[in-house]
């Protein structure tokens, strides 16, 4: 009974809460979620798509590792926080995936693919809603974070050697 509650209710609820917080941090920079504002931004971009294109070309980063190398060379608090923050944001994602999808269905390659897709959705959303800047390096850092989270999950499972996970009664 307890395993069913944890597996079917608590873990999905925690994952949904994590996705909500991830959205709040990435798209709204810790501010409140304003759907009306998003719709206005979307409507503005749909009326004049050239604005979105100009913003992407002017401010977007489409060169892999460009911002990462720049941040490492010019180590400021903001740059380091941005690098580590993009990684840290997706570590829970890599931990949650095998718990939500199932350990038998997930592997490092799938975590990598799903992390890229989810991160790309956030980056495209920033461009479409005109609420952030598209940065390909964020895709790389977020994906690395997801993969790191999965590795930590796998390491935790292996190092734990909990008897309950093996199906052997506790002594």
**Nearest CA among 67, 141, 157, 37 for reference residue 106:** 157
Name the region of 110 (left: φ>0; alpha: ψ -120 to 50; beta: rest).
alpha
Q: What is the mean pLDDT of residues 141-160?
A: 93
> What does the pLDDT look like over 77-116, one tens digit per residue?
999 999 999 999 999 999 999 999 988 899 999 999 999 9
Boundaries of every domain in the chain: 2-159
What's the pLDDT at 6?
A: 73
């Amino acid at each position: 009974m307890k395993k069913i509650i944890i597996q079917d209710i608590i873990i999905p609820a925690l994952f949904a809460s994590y996705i909500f917080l991830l959205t709040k941090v990435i798209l709204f920079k810790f501010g409140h979620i304003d759907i009306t504002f998003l719709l206005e931004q979307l409507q503005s971009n749909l009326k004049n798509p050239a604005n979105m294109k100009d913003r992407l070309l002017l401010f977007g980063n489409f060169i892999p590792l460009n911002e990462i190398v720049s941040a490492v060379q010019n180590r400021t608090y903001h740059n380091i926080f941005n690098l580590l923050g993009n990684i840290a944001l997706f570590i829970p994602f890599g931990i949650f995936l095998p718990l939500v999808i199932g350990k038998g269905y997930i592997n490092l390659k799938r975590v990598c693919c799903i992390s890229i897709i989810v991160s790309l959705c956030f980056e495209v959303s920033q461009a479409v809603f005109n609420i952030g800047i598209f940065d390909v390096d964020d895709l790389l850092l977020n994906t690395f974070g997801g993969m790191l989270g999965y590795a930590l999950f796998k390491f935790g499972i292996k190092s734990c050697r909990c008897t309950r996970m093996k199906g052997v009664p506790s002594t």
